[in-house]
Amino acid sequence: MADLTLAANNGAIGGGEVMLLLMAQLARELGLDVAIVAPDASPVLRRSGELGFPATGITGRDRSEYIPNLRRWDRHEREGLLWCHGLVPSLATTGHPRRVVQLHQRPRGLAGPAGLISAAGSAKAVVPSEFMRSRLPGTTALPNWTASLDVIVRRREEDAPVVLGFIGRLSPDKGILVLAEAVRRLEKRHPGKVRLLLAGAPHFVSPEDQRLVEQALAPLAPITDRRGWMDRRDFFAAVDLAVFPSVRAESFGLVVAEAMASGVPFVISDAGALPEVAGPDHPWVARGGDPVSLMETLEDAVPAAHTTYVAHARRRWETHYSPDAARDRLATLLTELGVLPAKGQQ
């Protein structure tokens, strides 16, 4: 019998699904019997099994079938508390008892009212940042965290170009167009001094947005290395300065926390929760959507002595976004929900 069942939003492993798997592992460390439910024959389901979790596959060719099948399963077969990771399982189980709704992204457009409806009657509605909590009244902030990463020690040859790195979805909302223009201006001002490493792919990006991205990157081809999807550790080991230039209001910023854990300096935009994750003392924050501001921020960051800052960022990660910090927060929340016994009752 599962004390806690985590329900996936998608079968593919994106940011929300990464957090689902990390949460499953922490909850197991806290002594709970944890199960996972996800679309049948999906990467999430396979990974759950590899990690040793009982996993139930819900059939459905698309969401129109997955949602009612998940609702039916939840009504008749679920045991313990259900933790819905995302809008889809939250909607599917609206009105059912003993559940937590976690929204990894702020619902927009038609999904906005759906997000409010899905959270109604839940034991707790959870979001990943104070930024998102301030925009969704009645929610509780449970910050995301990352797996432990080794600190990268990278030494660049004195005359070698500075490698600027981006990892994530290659789309306009992640700031690729702004980054391309900023790097173009930087290369014009400082010829041969920078290279751009792009790690990611245009998954879930429309053909028109893909065309805009390719058009923006074409002039930078001679100084750009495109690696496709990379392991986070390999990416951070290959760059001198990471760049996260989102133009949409990010609900958290997992790659920012990963850079902090890895000891890699980084530039961010002021989009959404990115400055919250980086901290109030982060020195390199560009205006979102402004390529000139991004170029100038990169110019400031490139020659800086990063040693002191990197140590400060790593300490911030340990305090706020490490597994140890997350375990304490999750234990507190699960105790409030009655899944874990209160101290003194164990």
Angle between helices 307-320 and 323-336 (to 10 degrees): 20
Identify the burial level of 345 via C-beta atoms within 10 angstroms of its C-beta, where 0-12 means exposed, 13-18 middle and 19 or more buried: exposed
Q: What is the mean pLDDT of the chain?
A: 92
Residue 109 has pLDDT above 90, yes or no: no
Report pLDDT digits (tens) over 77-108: 999 999 999 999 999 999 999 999 999 887 76
Could you tell me which residue, 304 or 76, shows the higher pLDDT? 76
Q: Return the ∠ at Cα 129 (arms to 126 and 333), rounded to 5°.
A: 40
The whole-number pLDDT of residue 33 equals 97
Give the type of residue at 10.
N
Could you tell me which residue, 338 or 202, shows the higher pLDDT? 338
Q: What is the arrangement of strands in the sheet containing 55-58, beginning at the earlier edge strand?
A: 55-58, 34-39, 4-7, 81-85, 99-102, 124-127, 140-141
d(CA 229, CA 198): 9
Q: How many residues does the chain have?
A: 346
Q: How confident is the model at residue 156 (pLDDT cuts 50, 70, 90)?
A: confident
**Cα–Cα distances in angstroms (integers) from residue 26 to residues 66, 174, 250, in the given order:** 27, 29, 24
d(CA 17, CA 22): 9
Report pLDDT digits (tens) over 175-212: 999 999 999 999 999 999 999 999 988 877 899 999 99
Residue 120 is encoded by which pair of tokens? 């109604």
Residue 154 is encoded by which pair of tokens? 């990278």
* Residue position matching structure tokens 């935009």: 269
Determine the average pLDDT of the residues in 146-154. Answer: 87
Residue 110 has pLDDT above 50, yes or no: no
Give the type of residue at 192.
G
Q: Could you tell me which residues come within 8 angstroms of residue 98 by beta carbon, excluding any fewer than 6 positions away?
A: 80, 81, 82, 123
First-to-last C-alpha distance (Å) of the chain: 20
pTM score: 0.91
The whole-number pLDDT of residue 345 equals 60
Residue 273 has pLDDT above 60, yes or no: yes
The whole-number pLDDT of residue 190 equals 94
